[in-house]
Amino acid sequence: MLRIRRDLVDAMVGHARRDHPDEACGLLVGPEGSDSPERFVPMLNAARSPTYYEFDTTEWNAVYQQLARDDEEPVVIYHSHTATDPYPSRTDIARAGEYAQLLPSPHYVLIATRDPEEHELRSYRIADGEVTEEPVHVVEVADHG
């Protein structure tokens, strides 16, 4: 289960809305080993595409190095789907395999922005090409229980 603060959900959804019709992408980070997202890190979609996202290599390297210095890690990797269901595509699953070499076991959050009035947010674990949806529990304040 992903337990996440409402302000972090609002930040991800806001980023997805601002970048629409292109996909938005970014991270929620937290202390190493905590599995608790505490900080919002929006990233640039270097592909600038409505159907594909790609972290900018220079930005990714800088963020990754800063996280290592601060004893933080990506807890959530998020991106938006602008016209489809918030379910990982084949490309998303392949990318998760690449991230597995660098990251412990992030949650993959997808946000559908095709409806201008409402969004749909879902979270997954992706390991060895297998996608497992997980419940998302949104809390108003940090809830470590």
Looking up tokens 């990754």 gives 64
Task: Determine the longest span between alpha carbons in the chain, in angstroms.
Answer: 40
Residue 5's Cβ-side half-sphere holds a number of Cα atoms within 13 Å equal to: 17
Considering only residues 145 and 4, tell me which one the structure prediction assigns the higher pLDDT.
4
Residue 77, SS3 per DSSP: strand
Confidence of residue 144 (pLDDT cuts 50, 70, 90): low
Domains of the chain, each with CATH number or no CATH: 2-139 (3.40.140.10)
pTM: 0.94
- The tens digit of pLDDT for each residue in 51-71 reads 999 999 999 999 999 999 999
Is pLDDT of 12 > 50?
A: yes
- The tens digit of pLDDT for each residue in 119-143 reads 999 999 999 999 999 999 999 975 4
> Is 23:80 a contact under the CB 8 Å cutoff?
yes
**Per-residue model confidence (pLDDT) at position 133:** 98
% residues pLDDT > 70 (the chain):
97
* pLDDT, mean over the chain: 94
Confidence of residue 4 (pLDDT cuts 50, 70, 90): very high
Confidence of residue 145 (pLDDT cuts 50, 70, 90): very low
Confidence of residue 104 (pLDDT cuts 50, 70, 90): confident
Segment (H or E) for 5: strand 2-5
